[in-house]
Amino acid sequence: MTEYKREFMEFMVRSGVLIFGDFITKSGRKTPYFVNTGNYKTGEQIAKLGEFYAANIKEHLGDDFDALFGPAYKGIPLATAAAGALYRKYGINKNYCFNRKEEKDHGEGGVVVGYKLKDGDRVVITEDVITSGAALREVLPVLQSAAKVKISGMVISVDRMERGQRELSAIQEVKKEFGIDVYPIVTIREIIDTLHNRPIDGKVYIDDEMKERMEAYLAEYGVMA
């Protein structure tokens, strides 16, 4: 495992984004852990988050794309921060853009803000997590209405490795339905294996009991990669 993945896990815990306890997912499942990217709130955090996304993009996609696209709303700061970090850390200067929820009918108009997409552009989508293909179903028509683009991939924070709408995982569903590869910075399996009985700032978050609960959850809802 690359070092930035380990650092990202600790970063999520310290930021209060990866939390452990008793939660209910949007699909109604009772889960012992939760990823809430809405808890990022400082300049330091968004700068570091951009660097983790940039490292993931460089590892899996290099500079073989033309633009980063951030779906409204959580994807917007991700695309912006990742674009800045790619240039700052690796000298990779890429375009970025994002969409409005409602089309603007004055000024420059349109739905897409930032870089103006062109036919043939290769686009990387930045998101926090995916639980189904619903968000992609909303955003792909937006992209295709802007230009005839090719989706080079999608980068996310965490792969929960659990069933989506049917028997496949959300990532597998996206690949099957849209032909898009999804690249998570880390998977829940990597989180369990790395943080089990390993303290962060003196506290163990995944002790034997929590690991047992997480394994039980994956046994019920998980999907092998």
The Cα 162–Cα 149 span in angstroms is 30
Judged by DSSP in three states, 151 sits in strand
Active site residue 89: no
Catalytic: which of 26, 101, 106, 203?
106
Antiparallel, parallel or unpaired: β 95-104 and 110-114: antiparallel
CA distances from 140 to 58, 64, 159 (A): 23, 20, 21
Catalytic: which of 41, 104, 118, 176?
104
Residue 207 identity = D
Active site residue 48: no
The Cα 113–Cα 96 span in angstroms is 9
Question: How many Cα atoms are found within 13 Å in the side-chain-facing hemisphere of 39?
Answer: 12
Interior CA angle at 188 toward 58 and 87, to 5°? 20
Residues labelled catalytic: 104, 106
